[in-house]
Amino acid sequence: MTIDSDNAPASAETSPRRAFRQGMVAGLPFSIVVVPFGMVFGVIATEAGLNLAETMGFSILVIAGASQLAAVQLMVENAPTVVVVLTALAVNLRMAMYSAALAPHLGAAPVWQRGLIAYLMVDQAYTIAHLRYETGPPMTMGARVAYYFGVVTPICPLWYLATLFGAIAGTALPPGLPIDVAVPIAFLAMIAPMLRTLAHVSAAFISVAGALAFAFVPYNLGLLLAAALAMAAGAWVELWTKRRRGKARP
Amino acid sequence: MNYGSFEIWAIILLIGIGTLVLRYSFLGIIGSRALPEWVLRHLRYTPVAVIPGLMAPLIFFPPVTDGETDPGRLAVAAAALGAGVVTRSPIWAIVAGLAVAVLLSLTNGLAMPG
């Protein structure tokens, strides 16, 4: 499970080459999901007025679709630069949780590998790799890193390509199309599958109610205010649900 | 959008660097201690806390109609949300939302820009 498995006999372990292949197989079905989001971001960013370099800059330097769409949406509303950056980073706060969850499994890798792992830490990479490390047979450090890179190999390049395709398609689309509907569809597609517990639904509800109620707050700060309340609501309902089931931790 | 090229690149770079810092945070510290449970409990809800609030005004008061509620756009959102919740799949949410959007566009059920 942890770095101890480095000392296990090599014969019982998955080779890095094999781990990489297994990772690719696990990541492949998820790469399909990335394509529509990348295309939507490319189209929306282009329609919003970003040029090709800026659109690709987002997808290559940030690689986090929800925060990119959030940033572009706030830029369309001409929110202050600081608010755009803070809101996008608020969307990405969950990455710190991914980082903490992966640290026991990948924390002993060389610095350059950890840097690359961090850069490529998309939702799917965390979900797939963490599940494999926690539930699969133990792997060596090298195999764990190879598995992770295998998972992101079909996903991340497709993210860049889909953005590029969307950005080029965006400039070719005739004017007068109701392209604006793609933004809520993309956001809903990200969020709807997450609404699996009462806590998630509560957080989403408070987020919506808060954002509408705080719409008067200047500089688009109402959204961040609503998000803070919604996070607290989610955490509180989770605790409440656990206590009700008698599973609360001391 | 009223940003100059410098501001746009500043936004992209700051979000990029900030996101990388978040992603590297715990991975960078070897033998890192586990995050306190209450912190994890809050971080778990960041996407559902930010994104619904961000998209709600777009759905209820779309800029295309100058903020007037459009039943067509509500139907599109309901289809995407419903399909996503039922199937647990983002793909089906997109398919359902797009299908309703195309259907409504063709039958003049969707407010058009301009």
The nearest alpha carbon in chain A to B82 belongs to A192
The two tokens of residue A38 are: 């990348």
The nearest alpha carbon in chain A to B13 belongs to A61
Helices within B1-114 (DSSP H only)? 5-24, 37-43, 46-60, 71-87, 90-106
Residue A167 pLDDT class (50, 70, 90 cuts): very high
CA distance linking residue A55 with residue B75, whole number of Å: 30
CA distance linking residue B53 with residue B49, whole number of Å: 7
Same-domain pairing of B57 and B25: no
Same-domain pairing of B25 and B53: no
Same-domain pairing of B94 and B76: yes
Same-domain pairing of A131 and A248: no
Give the distance from residue A210's alpha carbon to the nearest chain B alpha carbon, in angstroms: 7
Of A124, A150, A178, which residue constitutes the final position of a domain? A178
Alpha-carbon torsion angle B86, B89, B90, B95, nearest 10? -70
Same-domain pairing of B21 and B54: no
pLDDT tens digit sequence for A36-86 = 889 999 999 999 999 999 999 999 999 999 899 999 999 999 999 999 999
Residue B34: DSSP 8-state: P
Same-domain pairing of A172 and A212: no
Residue A70, CB-side half-sphere exposure with 13 Å CA sphere: 32
The two tokens of residue A81 are: 């630069």
Same-domain pairing of B52 and B86: yes
pTM for the full predicted model: 0.84
Q: Are B50 and A69 in contact, with CB atoms under 8 Å apart?
A: no
Same-domain pairing of A173 and A203: no
Report if residue A127 sits inside a domain: yes
Same-domain pairing of A141 and A207: no
pLDDT of residue A100: 86
Same-domain pairing of B22 and B52: no
Helix (H, G, I), strand (E, B) or coil at A195: coil
Which chain A residues are closer than 8 Å to B43 by Cβ?
93-94, 96-97
The two tokens of residue A54 are: 């800026």
Residue A9 pLDDT class (50, 70, 90 cuts): very low
Tally of domains within chain A: 2
Neighbours of A176 (CB within 10 A): 9
The nearest alpha carbon in chain B to A199 belongs to B45
State yes or no: pLDDT of A247 exceeds 70: no
Same-domain pairing of A96 and A133: yes
Report if residue A225 sits inside a domain: yes
Same-domain pairing of B63 and B108: yes
Same-domain pairing of B19 and B51: no
Q: Find the domain containing A225 and state its range.
A: 195-250
CA distance linking residue B51 with residue A65, whole number of Å: 11
Same-domain pairing of A202 and A79: no
State yes or no: pLDDT of B88 exceeds 50: yes
CA distance linking residue B54 with residue A83, whole number of Å: 13
Mean pLDDT of B37-59: 89
Report if residue B38 sits inside a domain: no
CA distance linking residue A91 with residue A56, whole number of Å: 20
B88 to each of A41, A122, A189, B93, B98, how far by Cα in Å?
21, 19, 9, 8, 17
Tally of domains within chain B: 2
ipTM score of complex: 0.89
Of A178, A203, A229, which residue constitutes the final position of a domain? A178
CA distance linking residue A80 with residue B75, whole number of Å: 32
Report if residue A157 sits inside a domain: yes
Report if residue A46 sits inside a domain: yes
Of A178, A204, A233, which residue constitutes the final position of a domain? A178
Same-domain pairing of B92 and B67: yes
Same-domain pairing of A24 and A71: yes
Q: Is B102 on the interface with A (CB under 8 A)?
A: no
Q: Find the domain containing B2 and state its range.
A: 1-33
Q: Are A203 and A233 in contact, with CB atoms under 8 Å apart?
A: yes
Report if residue B10 sits inside a domain: yes
pLDDT tens digit sequence for A72-124 = 999 999 999 999 999 999 989 889 888 988 998 999 899 999 999 999 999 88
How many beta-carbon pairs below 8 A join chains A and B? 299
Q: Are A193 and B85 in contact, with CB atoms under 8 Å apart?
A: yes
Same-domain pairing of A130 and A247: no
Same-domain pairing of B2 and B22: yes
Residue B33 pLDDT class (50, 70, 90 cuts): low
Same-domain pairing of A202 and A170: no
CA distance linking residue A179 with residue A243, whole number of Å: 45
Q: Is B70 on the interface with A (CB under 8 A)?
A: no
Give the distance from residue B2's alpha carbon to the nearest chain A alpha carbon, in angstroms: 6
With tokens 């707050």, the residue in question is A217
Same-domain pairing of A63 and A11: yes
Same-domain pairing of A98 and A167: yes
Report if residue A185 sits inside a domain: no
Same-domain pairing of B65 and B111: yes
Same-domain pairing of A205 and A158: no
CA distance linking residue A61 with residue A90, whole number of Å: 17
Task: Name the residue facing B22 among A71, A95, A200 (closest C-beta).
Answer: A95
Report if residue A24 sits inside a domain: yes
Same-domain pairing of B7 and B25: yes
